[in-house]
């Protein structure tokens, strides 16, 4: 893997945070285990092997069956087959394919969790997971099959199948059998030992990977919602007074203060903003951006705290404590903290989309000197009438998707697993809300840029003018009806390619 520390991230006992993960992904860093992590993994495995020989009683998941079969003891000569059978039988996923970036995050987070030395896995097993990550051999994983409680069982089983030389992977830009990739790489399957299958399948890395990915996107959305909202405010000839710092000092929610300050900074030096106004108030979708956007920023801060704890924790079962001479079975795989946080973040994102669509509606409504539907000849041309319909439909779907999954539960495994978090469903719903919100903001920017044209010759701030000038090169002014799907997609791509400032992660 080389010794270039700038291109390598060392997995150790140190905590990993969102900003580090972003850097690992964006810089395409390779992974390696620290010396300390290797020693902990080896010591835990050696201890577990001795424990199995010395203790005749059943130890759950090590020499017993699983779930409601936990009371059935398995003979020593079958322990390896037990683990492989577990992985194969649990690879029962269906539904959509998990996006490749999230699969890569799943691998990273599983490696991180196993590196602490509480899971009893072989060093060679962790090293193979690292090889999969570093060579971009990404397991094919499906979205359905986890109840978010006994760990993300089916998704993690599909993640683990390539260790056995089974299942499918994405390799060299193609989806192929794992055996084909192994043959080309000269790899041999890993032979799992006692407890390893359970260590790989128990855990919350499916929920966690979705959550981390969605948080990274949500921070970008938070910044862009403020930016686009400021452009819309200028295009609507809105007031800057609601963003005055004195208003927010007397109700000092952190996100509210940050949003007001940021929007004011975007408006600095604007000719439009300095013009006398004939109106004394703006609609809430403009006036209350600090309160609404800021509340969603507050959710981000809470969710980040939950996930930081989770991704730096050990979530398989049982846990092996070498120094304390204990192998303890508990429930760290239960995803309830994540399920609630994922649902909360979906609500926050839904609100960003909801208030964005309302600003779009105001811009096309023919108020404050703007033509109806932002077109010069309304009637002959429909103008930007229907993009608002599209945004409204997406926002409605977001509201439906924001209905919490975490309030549900269903009994499984013959009643042994009688309360589950449904965090996996919360995760996949959240992913859709993130994607939807990006599109709603792209539609708002499309409308805001069109409306800003009608304010000429007055100019907005240098900062917003810079964004506007770049944008209209990608999505030109609409002087007659055209296929607006193409404009919406180009608008969305513009936002996707907008440089991300690390300061965004401070929202």
* Residue 398 Ramachandran class (φ > 0 left, ψ -120 to 50 alpha, else beta): alpha
User: Distance between terminal CA atoms of the chain?
Assistant: 35
State the chain's mean pLDDT as an integer: 94
Give the start-to-end residue ranges of the domains of the chain: 5-203, 210-502
| Cβ burial 324-340 (10 Å sphere, 16+ → b, else e) | eeebeeeebbbbbbbbb
Q: Is the pLDDT of residue 197 over 90?
A: yes
Q: Is the pLDDT of residue 17 over 60?
A: yes
Q: pLDDT tens across 321-347, in order? A: 999 999 999 999 999 999 999 999 999
Q: pLDDT tens across 351-404, in order? A: 999 999 999 999 999 999 999 999 998 889 999 999 999 999 999 999 999 999
Q: pLDDT tens across 153-183, in order? A: 999 999 999 999 999 999 999 999 999 999 9
Query: Tokens 């600003």 belong to which residue?
Result: 359
Residues identified as active-site: 60
Q: Is the pLDDT of residue 60 over 70?
A: no
pLDDT of residue 4: 58
Residue range 451-469: average pLDDT?
97
Question: Does the domain at residues 5-203 carry the CATH identifier 1.10.275.10?
Answer: yes
Question: Treating both helix axes as pointing N-terminal to C-terminal, what angle do 289-311 and 100-114 enclose, rounded to 10 degrees?
Answer: 50
Give the whole-angstrom CA distance, residue 427 versus residue 408.
14
Overall pTM surpassing 0.75 (yes/no) = yes
Question: Does the domain at residues 210-502 carry the CATH identifier 1.10.3720.10?
Answer: no
């Amino acid at each position: 893997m080389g010794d270039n520390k700038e291109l390598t991230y060392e997995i150790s006992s140190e905590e990993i945070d969102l900003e580090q993960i972003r850097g690992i992904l964006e810089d395409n860093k390779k992974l390696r285990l620290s010396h300390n992590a290797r020693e902990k993994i080896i010591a835990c495995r050696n201890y577990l092997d001795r424990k199995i020989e010395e203790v005749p009683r059943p130890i759950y998941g090590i020499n017993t069956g699983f779930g409601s079969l936990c009371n059935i003891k398995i003979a020593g000569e079958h322990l390896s087959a037990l683990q492989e059978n577990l992985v194969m039988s649990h690879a029962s996923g269906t539904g959509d394919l998990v996006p490749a970036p999230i699969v890569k995050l799943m691998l990273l987070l599983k490696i991180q969790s196993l590196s602490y030395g509480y899971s009893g896995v072989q060093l060679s097993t962790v090293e193979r997971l690292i090889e999969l990550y570093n060579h971009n051999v990404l397991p094919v994983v499906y979205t359905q099959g986890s109840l978010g409680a006994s760990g993300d069982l089916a998704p993690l089983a599909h993640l683990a199948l390539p260790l056995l030389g089974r299942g499918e992977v994405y390799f060299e830009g193609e989806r192929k059998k794992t055996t084909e990739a192994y043959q080309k790489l000269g790899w041999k399957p890993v032979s799992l030992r006692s407890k390893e299958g359970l260590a790989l399948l128990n855990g919350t890395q499916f929920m966690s990977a979705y959550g981390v990915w969605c948080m990274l996107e949500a921070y970008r959305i938070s910044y862009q919602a403020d930016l686009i909202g400021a452009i819309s405010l200028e295009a609507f000839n809105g007031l800057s007074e609601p963003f005055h710092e004195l208003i927010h000092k007397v109700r000092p929610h952190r996100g509210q203060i940050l949003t007001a300050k940021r929007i004011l900074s975007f408006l600095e030096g604007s000719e439009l903003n300095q013009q006398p106004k004939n109106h004394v108030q703006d609609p809430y979708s403009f006036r209350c951006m600090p309160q609404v956007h800021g509340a969603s920023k507050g959710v981000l801060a809470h969710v980040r705290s939950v996930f930081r704890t989770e991704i730096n924790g050990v979530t398989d079962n049982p846990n092996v404590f070498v120094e304390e001479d204990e192998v303890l079975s508990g429930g760290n795989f239960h995803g309830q903290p994540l399920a609630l946080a994922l649902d909360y973040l979906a609500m926050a994102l839904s609100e960003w989309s909801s208030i964005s669509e309302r600003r779009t509606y105001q811009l096309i409504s023919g108020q404050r000197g703007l033509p109806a539907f932002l077109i010069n000849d309304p009637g002959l041309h429909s103008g930007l009438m229907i993009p608002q319909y599209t945004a409204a439909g997406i926002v409605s779907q977001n509201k439906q998707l924001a209905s919490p999954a975490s309030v549900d539960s269903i009994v499984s495994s013959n009643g042994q697993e009688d309360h589950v978090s449904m965090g996996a469903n919360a995760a996949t719903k959240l992913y859709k809300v993130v994607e939807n919100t990006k599109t709603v903001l792209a539609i708002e920017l499309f409308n805001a840029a069109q409306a800003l044209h009608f304010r000429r010759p007055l100019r907005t701030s240098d900062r917003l003018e810079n964004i506007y000038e770049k944008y209209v090169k990608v999505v030109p002014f609409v002087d007659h009806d055209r296929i607006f799907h193409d404009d919406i997609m180009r608008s969305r791509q513009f936002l996707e390619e907008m440089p991300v400032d690390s300061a965004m992660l401070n929202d």
